[in-house]
Amino acid sequence: MDDPTPDGDSSPAVRRIRQLLLHIRHPSAPSPSSVAGEGQLAALPCGSRENKVAAVSVAELAQYMRGRHREIQERVFEFFRSRPDLQTPVEISTADHRELCMRQLTALVRDAGIRPFRYVLEDPSLYFAISEAAGGIDISLGIKMGVQYSLWGGSVINLGTKKHRDKYFDGIDNLDYPGCFAMTELHHGSNVQGLQTTATFDPVTDEFVINTPNDGAIKWWIGNAAVHGKFATVFAKLILPLQGMGGGSADMGVHAFIIPIRDLETHSVLPGIEINDCGHKIGLNGVDNGALRFHSVRIPRDNLLNRFGDVSRDGKYTSSLPSINKRFAATLGELVGGRVGLAYSSVGVLKIAVTIAVRYSLLRQQFGPPKKPEVSILDYQSQQHKLMPMLASTYAFHFATLYLVDKYSEMKKSHEDEAVSDVHTLSAGLKAYITSYTAKSLSTCREACGGHGYAAVNRFGTLRNDHDIFQTFEGDNTVLLQQVAIDLLKQYKEKFQGGTLTATWSYLRESMASYLSQPNPLTARWEREDHLRDPKFQLDAFRYRTSRLLQTVAVRLQKHSTRLGGFGAWNRCLNHLLTLAESHIESIILAKFINSVQSCPDKNTRHVLKLVCDLYALDRIWHYNGTYRNDDYVAPNKAKAIHKLTEYLSFQVRGVARELVDAFDLPDYVTRAPIGMSSEAYAHYTQYAGF
């Protein structure tokens, strides 16, 4: 049968017919999408099931994974390795841990000469690399560094102006001015616009008067406040007397103010300020969280961080932004670096946990065939099911967060509105998705290591407890995912109004036309391995699910809003919206993983990364099998083939699991768990016990 159209005709309909014809004519040939054309994703050769995974060079893979700033991370690791007095012991009191954490940070800055603060503006990717390394030493150290430099310091340089940078930069940088970030209150966390602390301007004295009007307005969970902080950036409602309707007071919305809280010389708490300790926590006890109450505390007018709004000597308010909501959005937009850092650091925690669990699972031997040696517990399919998709996800998150850091760095240079909006949503989604995944995985890793995983020295308990709050601070994960959903719905609306889509969401333009078309009965049944491992099929499946979720939730919201109103409709569809946000973030993660695989210059390394990427993609597709089956996107035979291939890929990844975790390039000083040592694990463990 001849082709029905001339070769030059490349309409979508014709291309689809050709694909179907090729599949019918040559059922044993590679899928058309495995031949790369311009703008297409190329499938790498999969090989037969009998073939072993290509030998992988740990050095080559580690080199590709390292990124640009491995050298400074190694400086951090080497410094702390050379200072055993700064190592966090397994058992330590809260008071001792707090003092040790401050000594660790001070030594890193003053003795090792590593000054993270200058990179917050100059090179954020370098700052995040230092922060990840510090978190590898002690997660409390990484968080305390973040409070000092990203939150307290970042608020001064991002929300203030030149006069603030000139006055405070050096003291923040060298730790002469340890500080706090006082946003959260007892009654308000996520709803920042609901904060009740007030800053009322007094035109007679040219000062702001800071007040805590009730117990609900007490600043709560403020890092560095209980012991070490000397300053605080305090978020409060700016009140201007006589500027409101009828000569009353005007509430100009939430603004940030620098407030000294302790004497620089004596360290005594300053008059009018009440500080109490939030006490022992589930984790992160190296960070001294406190509560702050203000009793008519007076600060100079210059202590208003006035980048987005200012008050003149005569009490007049000026701003380049026309409304409270726009000023609030601009203020919070400058603080997204904390979310970027948490997503990046969460991957670092996951790498440590996966490394310990995989190494132990390779070492540990239990049972086996009759009259045969015992086998490694990682040879059991159940253990592979627990750990291999997790290992694949760790690689996926690694590349996704590198992309996020690059986007954030570009945004800090350009300050373009589109880039700011893109990074705001991307950082919210990745922070929420990755920290939630890591929190669940830490428990899985503990369980995968049996009784020995329960020993405190083997780290899982500490890692789990210290990391758990990552799901809450810098934005509760449920709230952050709603921000992603809001942006997706906005983009969906823009699509039908003829607007342009931001770069990260651009696939939605195509998805509305092609991904949501009726699933083709032939492609729904294709089950060949080269088709299932084709990155185009994988990415199409992820994006189809996101597009279907977006379309259906938009219809549901419109339906319910007529009866329940906007808030009621949103709440009725909330779980649907959260699922949509997670699906969208998974699509981005996979797209960046595929790009990273195809950009890898070494053939063998690329082959192994492709294997890991395929496992990540197909494990997710199988996880959502019900959705694909309900929409007839995947026929029963294809679903079964995906499941079988996922199990087989887990088996293949097990064959290179040691090399994959070794390529994280974590020194034993960082993993520290005896059962996770790169060699002689049992010897380290028995030595710790005293034998």
Q: What is the pLDDT of residues 309-364, one digit of tens each?
A: 999 999 999 998 888 888 888 887 778 899 999 999 999 999 999 999 999 999 99
Q: Which residues contact 508 (CB under 8 A, 6 or more apart)?
A: 488, 491, 492, 495, 501, 547, 550
223 is in an annotated binding site: yes
Q: What SS3 state is found at 498? A: coil
What's at 18, amino acid-wise? R
Q: What is the pLDDT of residues 35-78, one digit of tens each?
A: 333 333 344 433 334 446 668 899 999 999 987 898 999 999 99
- In the residue annotation, 474 being an active-site residue is answered as yes
Say how far apart CA 326 and CA 320 lie, in whole Å: 10
DSSP-derived pairing of the beta strands 289-294 and 219-223: antiparallel
Q: What is the pLDDT of residues 552-570, one digit of tens each?
A: 999 899 999 999 999 999 9
Q: What is the mean pLDDT of residues 590-608?
A: 96
Q: What phi and psi, each to the nearest 5 degrees, are found at residue 192?
A: -65, -30
Q: What is the pLDDT of residues 115-155, one digit of tens each?
A: 999 999 889 999 999 999 999 999 999 999 999 999 999 99
What's at 458, amino acid-wise? N
Say how far apart CA 530 and CA 31 lie, in whole Å: 7
Q: What SS3 state is found at 181? A: strand
Are 275 and 186 in contact by the 8 Å Cβ rule? The answer is no
Of 316, 309, 312, which Cα lies nearest the Cα of 301? Answer: 312
196-224 CB burial, b ≥16 within 10 A, e <16: bbbbbbebeeebbbbbbeeeebbbbbbbb
Are 613 and 43 in contact by the 8 Å Cβ rule? The answer is no
Q: What is the pLDDT of residues 175-216, one digit of tens each?
A: 999 999 999 999 988 788 889 999 999 999 999 999 999 999
Neighbours of 490 (CB within 10 A): 16
Say how far apart CA 99 and CA 112 lie, in whole Å: 18
Q: Which two tokens stand for residue 208?
A: 């702001």
The answer on pLDDT for 496 being more than 80 is: no
Say how far apart CA 562 and CA 307 lie, in whole Å: 41
The reported pLDDT for the residue numbered 63 is 93
Please provide the average confidence, as pLDDT, over all residues in the chain. 88
Phi-psi region of 367 (alpha: psi -120 to 50; beta: other; left: phi over 0): left
Q: Which two tokens stand for residue 454?
A: 């329960």
The answer on pLDDT for 25 being more than 60 is: no
Say how far apart CA 419 and CA 441 lie, in whole Å: 32
Q: Which residues contact 432 (CB under 8 A, 6 or more apart)?
A: 471, 475, 477, 478, 480, 481, 484, 581, 585
Q: What is the pLDDT of residues 617-649, one digit of tens each?
A: 999 999 999 999 888 889 999 999 999 999 999
Residue 475: DSSP 8-state? S
- What counts of helices (H) and strands (E) characterise the chain? 25, 11
Are 99 and 88 in contact by the 8 Å Cβ rule? The answer is no
The answer on pLDDT for 30 being more than 80 is: no
Say how far apart CA 635 and CA 640 lie, in whole Å: 9
Taking the alpha carbons of 90, 94, 99, 104 in that order, is the dihedral positive or negative? Answer: positive
To which H or E segment does residue 258 belong? strand 250-260
Q: What is the mean pLDDT of residues 80-108?
A: 97
590-615 CB burial, b ≥16 within 10 A, e <16: bbbbbebbbebeeeebbbbbbbbbbb
**β-bridge mates for residue 304, sequence order:** 257
Say how far apart CA 362 and CA 356 lie, in whole Å: 10
Chain-centre distance of CA 404, in angstroms?
9
Q: Where are the beta strands (DSSP E) in 153-230?
A: 179-182, 198-202, 207-211, 219-223
Say how far apart CA 631 and CA 621 lie, in whole Å: 13
Q: What is the mean pLDDT of residues 394-422?
A: 91
Q: Which two tokens stand for residue 520?
A: 């083709």
Q: Which residues contact 29 (CB under 8 A, 6 or more apart)?
A: 22
**Active-site pick, 185, 474, 582, 586:** 474
To which H or E segment does residue 236 belong? strand 231-240
